[in-house]
Structure formats: C-alpha cells, structure tokens
Homo-oligomer: A and B are copies of this chain.
Amino acid sequence: MRDRRISESTIHRLSHYYRALTALEREHFDTVSSRELANREELTPAQVRKDLSFFGSFGTRGLGYPVKELKEKIARILGIDRVWNVALIGVGNIGSALVSYKEFARQGFNIKLLFDSDQRKIGSNHKGITVLGMDDLERQLNENKIELVILAVPASSAQVIVDHVVNCGIKAILNFAPIKLAVPDDVFLRTENMAMELEYLSFSLVNNLPRRSDRKKT
C-alpha cells in the first residue's frame, strides 16, 4: 500500500486518531485494536487499518497497535512532534480567543506574535504578548522564524493582509475570515468557516436528514 496518494480525508482522520490515542494513553491503555480506535471516532475498523497502512505497518497481528508508539508516529506524520512558531494577525473577538486556545499550544502551535492594524490595539497585551503594528510585519516574522500565520481579520481586509503575509515569505496560512482568499500556488491556505457547520445543522433540521452526522467524511 506504499505510495497511494494520501487524501485530505485521511489526513483529517489522522487528527482524529491522534486525539483518540491521547485519550487512550491517559486511560493507560498499552495497545488498541482498529475496532476500538474506530469506535472512539465513529469510523470503521477497516478504514483505520487502511489509513494507517499508508504510512507503514504499525500494528501487530493478533494484538493491535501500541498506543504510545502509534501516537508518536502520527504526531511525526502530522508534523506536530515539534514546535511551530505562529503569528496571529487580528486581535478582535476571534483572534483574542485563539491566543488563549489551549489546544493549539498543546499540539505545539506556539503563538509568538500578535499583530493588528488598529492603532488602539497596538501595544496592548494578550496573555503576555504585546500586539504589534502591521508595518513591522516582515521584520518580525523573519526575526522570530514564524512559519505559520493565523488570520483573524475582517473579511473586508483579509485579501490585502494575506497578500502582505505572502510577500513576507510565509507558506502556510489559516484563515478565519468567511471569504475565499487568493494565494500563490506554493502557499498552503486553509479556511475555517464556522458558519458552515451551523448551516449544516440548519439544513439537517429543516430537511430532517438521516441522523448521526459528525463532521466531514472524517
């Protein structure tokens, strides 16, 4: 199964496995079967095995997967076995919530810098980090070896700001503005659209969809 193209869904499921394995580790399980892992994230055992087999043979026939080891393997695959230096642009509602979002830090996403274009916010403090102005962006990103930028600015200014960020050489951006941004082909952009899931719920309620849906193919 070496070298089949890895799909987006597979990668997202790795995040789920990682989460489940973190829980299993806390509960002192040494090994876990594909069935148990599947149950915990509402997937099928076959899918778990197929997903994992893309990356190697991590299990033992008859026994299952070693929890701690598999968790480390997946962390390595996802690239979260290290610390990423992150800058966050836009310290409004969402932005300031994200600064304190524990799950980011727990997975090695270290928000080191905050930026805002609002003069009144520059110099203010969030969780011990001083908000910088946008004119300082390029130098600060370089000096702090930032590899990842989170954008939490209004939709109206998001494209201008993302252009600026791209010009600074950043190759990975997480966008919270509910708008489609254009970036060059060599930049990774993901957009978190929080209204979309509410719309999905709304759709489900009015159309009385077949039940038990939680997240993408996931």
Contacts and interface: CB of A to CB of B under 8 A. Distances in A.
A96 interface: yes
A63 interface: no
A196 B12 contact: yes
Interface stretch (A100-108, A129-137, A138-146): A100-108
A199 B80 contact: yes
A14 B213 CA distance: 17
A49 interface: no
Contacts of A104: 194-195, 198
Contact of A80 (B190, B192, B197, B202): B202
A178 interface: yes
A190 B215 contact: yes
B103 A93 contact: no
A1 interface: no
A130 B132 CA distance: 33
5 contacts: A18-B199, A93-B101, A147-B205, A180-B214, A192-B192
Given A174-B201, A180-B214, 6 more contacts: A8-B213, A11-B200, A12-B196, A19-B179, A77-B207, A192-B194
